[in-house]
Amino acid sequence: MNKIITVVILILLFFYQISFSQNSGILTGKIVDKFSQKPIPDAIVEITEINKKVGSDEKGFFEFDKIDEGRYSIKISNIGYVSLLINNIIISSGRPNDIVAELEPVQTDEIVVESERFVKPLDITTSFKNLNYEEIRRSPGGFEDIGRVVQTLPGVSFVNDGRNDLIVRGGSPAENLFLVDNSRIPNINHFGSQGSTGGPVSIINLDFVKEVSFITGGFSARYGDILSSVLDIKLREGNRNRFMGDVDLSATGFGATFEGPIGNKKNGSWLASVSRSYLDLVFNAVGFGFIPEYTAVQLKGVYDIDKRNTLTIGAIGNFDLVRFNNDKIDNRQDNANILKDNQWGYTNSYELRTLIGNKSYSLLNLTRNFTNFDFAGRNANFEETFKNVSQEGETELKAEYFWLPDKLTEISFGGSGKLINFRNEIKSAADTLLIIDPSSIIIPPLDFNDSHNTFKGFAYAQITRRLFTHLRTTAGFRYDYFDFIEKKNYLSPRLSATIMFTHNFNLNLSYGIFYQSPSYIWLVSNSQNTSLRDIKAEHYVTGLEYIIGTDMRTTIEFYYKRYSDYPASSLRPYFVLANNGGDYPKPENFGLEPLVSAGRGYAKGVEFYFQKSLTTNLYGTMNFSIFQAKYTSLDGIERESDYDNRFIFIISGGYIFGKGWEFSSKFRYIGGRPYTPINPANGIQLVSQYNSERYPDYYSLDIRTDKRWNFKKWSLITYVDIQDITGRKNIVSYEWNKYTNQIKVNKSIGVFPTIGISAMF
């Protein structure tokens, strides 16, 4: 690895010698109404550093050409709208920077603050964070992966460095909702966990991403069938003016992205990419026994049918494969603890946006999801002990209507129907290795092959209203239906408010009831599992938000989540499925046993967050969370959750030195998670002491150096990223090795340097 880094440095020095000349670039964009997405003509766009202005045309488009490379700020203004200031616009010679700017209509008696960075959706008051493409790309140790970067936000923890599961405010990693361009996706990760939402690496190509919104509590009635968080990913459009490309080598793979216009009147665009990992080449060369391969493809097309109708088409596909090197006895023994995990899947989406009038619009969305899981477990003698071949497919039609009757009110309502098919071929031997105290528990064998068709639906309505000059409220309700379980109907109210003491100091409040249906895999293994109820969580959130300036803010939030009707094991009376997931799956993690809705629990905490966004040279964030999470299972004993880290401290930031150089770092210190001890004499899991001990606290320091190179007709971004530069190998887990009759300590990899190269033209 050191030789690779040396070669990269020599290449960078070569590029440095040939990139002294000053080059110029192009800035293009589109100005739209934030509410309706209607194009805004005659808006004034100004690059503040050079006092250069242009106006938007009748379709909202604008263009600057021959702008010297560098970082700029632009100001956008139009009569009837709040002026918008956007910082950190990067101009490079290789490709135009294309943006979409959303202007917010002026509200009566509103004190105008020019700041795009800290604007929230009108119906969201608490627990909201936003990330743009550049913030995700340059995050140290983030591998340009959405999930890993979101792990640095307040209240989010994880199990180990090898995965990007989101554990939000003490909740299970199965409690997260993913939306991509308003289409629900079960999992955005390669080798995704069945019945959960995590995985080792994201499927989403970062080059497609415009921005990511992350809501960790008190979300509005639009979002449902989920308990802890909403990750809303908005993808950018392809360039409507010219063909462009991007070829890159990242920390985990290599790929290419291409884009261009549809037609010659700026009526549409397309965007396409393909990427493949190279970890299989590295792992195989090093001699690892476990060899993962994965490939992803992604497409997006946008076309303006006419002035009122726009069609957006999206597609995402993944192909994941695991190979094993079993030529050595050590490899065979290690691989006996790892499930074969082959997967492939896709998401297709079609959305029609219709502008009904100047104050209302509708969305009609058709989404098809499908995932094929193929898990298998073998022992060291190559005898198959576990098999799970499952297909899960969903076809959803969703309709929503948004209306702005006056400047102080927003009304929305909608609903969907979802056809679901899941087929499961599962064969599992009796688990005689699960030996615990005070007595042995054996998971019975399974052998079945069946298929089910069912239906889900929801409807919601909500209103956001500014009642007085300093008070804004949102009230809504949601109805959810799931046909496969005995109790099919659920109604959940939501209420939130913002009290604006001054134009930059707010008190935010929210309350809501949230339901999530049991995972499909939990429902199929036993006939009694269809009596499971939707899991219920009540959220109470309050917080203060202070906008220090256009580039700085700080927040403090208090929350309490109360859980009930969580599935709990009838065979393992200490186990509730809130403690499931978060790591690479094992046969006992699929919930293939009799379950009852008897689990209950709570999570409570306080989060402090400070953010300095990039306006000149310096940027950074700091967050500190203190929390507690506990659950009570079938035996009635209250225990600490697997994800009760107690505290999270993360500080990250960077500095831009000029001439394309940038340095950034990230430090994390997180409390150790609870675990159940193992008797070192015989390997018995001491369940009588379930989650009574804790792993050592986790800490790591990641650093990163970026360099931008601009040439006449193309540009280059390079970086060196070193994860865990202190060399600390954090303890991930303890497990009993039945071959050596010893407790095995699983640790993180320690120092892990990576490089990245992206050529844009």
Q: Residue 505 above 60 pLDDT? A: yes
How would residue 114 be classed by pLDDT, with cut points 50, 70 and 90? very low
pTM of the model: 0.93
The DSSP result for 9-33, as a single string, is: HHHHHHHHHT--S--EEEEEEEEEE
Q: Residue 69 above 80 pLDDT? A: yes
- The rounded distance, in Å, linking the Cα atoms of 324 and 326 is 6
Q: Which of 87, 103, 119 is the last residue of a domain?
A: 103
Indicate whether 524 and 408 sit together in one domain: yes
User: Which range among 227-236, 542-551, 745-754 has the greatest average pLDDT?
Assistant: 227-236
pLDDT at 7: 47
Q: Residue 115 above 50 pLDDT? A: no
- The rounded distance, in Å, linking the Cα atoms of 738 and 24 is 64
How would residue 4 be classed by pLDDT, with cut points 50, 70 and 90? very low
pLDDT at 513: 98
Instruction: Indicate the DSSP class of residue 488.
Output: -
Nearest to 584 by CA among 281, 340, 332: 340
Indicate whether 609 and 646 sit together in one domain: yes
Helix then strand then coil, in percent of the chain rounded to 5, is 10, 55, 35
Q: How many DSSP H helices and E strands does the chain contain? A: 6, 43
pLDDT at 286: 65
Indicate whether 55 and 173 sit together in one domain: no
Question: Quick check: is 465 in a domain?
Answer: yes
Whole-number average pLDDT of the chain: 89
| Torsion, Cα of 79, 82, 88, 93 (10° steps) | -20
Mean pLDDT for the stretch of residues 357-383: 90
At 644, which helix (H) or strand (E)?
none
If one compares 555 and 686, the residue with the highest pLDDT of the two is: 555
Weakest-pLDDT range from 108-117, 173-182, 392-401: 108-117
Question: Quick check: is 459 in a domain?
Answer: yes
State whether residue 251 is helix, strand or coil: coil
Indicate whether 321 and 457 sit together in one domain: yes
* End-to-end alpha carbon distance in the chain: 29
pLDDT tens digits, residue range 535-566?
999 999 999 999 998 789 999 999 999 999 99
| Residue 649 burial by Cβ neighbours in a 10 Å radius (0-12, 13-18, 19+) | middle
pLDDT at 8: 47
Question: Quick check: is 629 in a domain?
Answer: yes
User: Which range among 280-294, 451-465, 581-595 has the greatest average pLDDT?
Assistant: 451-465
Question: Quick check: is 119 in a domain?
Answer: no
Handedness of CA 135, 136, 141, 144 (dihedral sign): negative
Domains of the chain: total: 2
pLDDT at 437: 64
Indicate whether 136 and 96 sit together in one domain: no
| Angle made by CA atoms 285, 287, 293, in degrees to the nearest 5 | 65
Residue type, 415: G
Mean pLDDT for the stretch of residues 414-440: 82
pLDDT at 22: 57
Indicate whether 357 and 468 sit together in one domain: yes
Indicate whether 97 and 135 sit together in one domain: no
Q: Residue 433 above 50 pLDDT? A: no
Mean pLDDT for the stretch of residues 503-529: 94
Indicate whether 310 and 383 sit together in one domain: yes
| Residue 66 burial by Cβ neighbours in a 10 Å radius (0-12, 13-18, 19+) | exposed
CATH number for the domain harbouring residue 57: 2.60.40.1120
- The rounded distance, in Å, linking the Cα atoms of 116 and 109 is 20
The DSSP result for 100-155, as a single string, is: EEEEPBP-TTPPP---STT---TT--SSEEEEEHHHHHT-TT-TT-HHHHHTTSTT
Radius of gyration of the chain (CA): 26
Question: Quick check: is 123 in a domain?
Answer: no
Q: Residue 18 above 70 pLDDT? A: no
Indicate whether 132 and 97 sit together in one domain: no
Question: Quick check: is 122 in a domain?
Answer: no
Indicate whether 205 and 58 sit together in one domain: no
- The rounded distance, in Å, linking the Cα atoms of 158 and 672 is 11
Range of the domain at 189: 128-760
pLDDT tens digits, residue range 660-685?
899 999 999 999 999 999 988 888 88
If one compares 513 and 325, the residue with the highest pLDDT of the two is: 513
The DSSP result for 155-210, as a single string, is: TEE-S-TT----EETT--TTSEEEEETTEEES--EETPPTTS---SEE-S-GGGEE
Main-chain phi, psi angles of 485, to 5 degrees: -110, 165
Contact yes or no for 554/609 (Cβ under 8 A): yes
Nearest to 633 by CA among 604, 595, 675, 677: 595
pLDDT at 19: 44
Other Cβ atoms less than 10 A from the Cβ of 661: the count is 12
Indicate whether 65 and 136 sit together in one domain: no
Only one residue has tokens 């002990």, namely 385
Main-chain phi, psi angles of 726, to 5 degrees: -70, -15
CATH number for the domain harbouring residue 613: 2.40.170.20
State whether residue 308 is helix, strand or coil: coil
Q: Which of 103, 138, 155 is the last residue of a domain?
A: 103
pLDDT tens digits, residue range 156-204?
999 988 899 999 999 999 999 999 999 999 999 999 999 899 999 999 9
Question: Quick check: is 120 in a domain?
Answer: no
- The rounded distance, in Å, linking the Cα atoms of 603 and 286 is 43
Indicate whether 46 and 135 sit together in one domain: no
Question: Quick check: is 635 in a domain?
Answer: yes
Helices (H), 310-412: 329-335
Q: What percentage of residues in the chain have a pLDDT greater than 90?
A: 59
Residue type, 443: I
If one compares 155 and 66, the residue with the highest pLDDT of the two is: 155
Nearest to 426 by CA among 591, 268, 664: 591
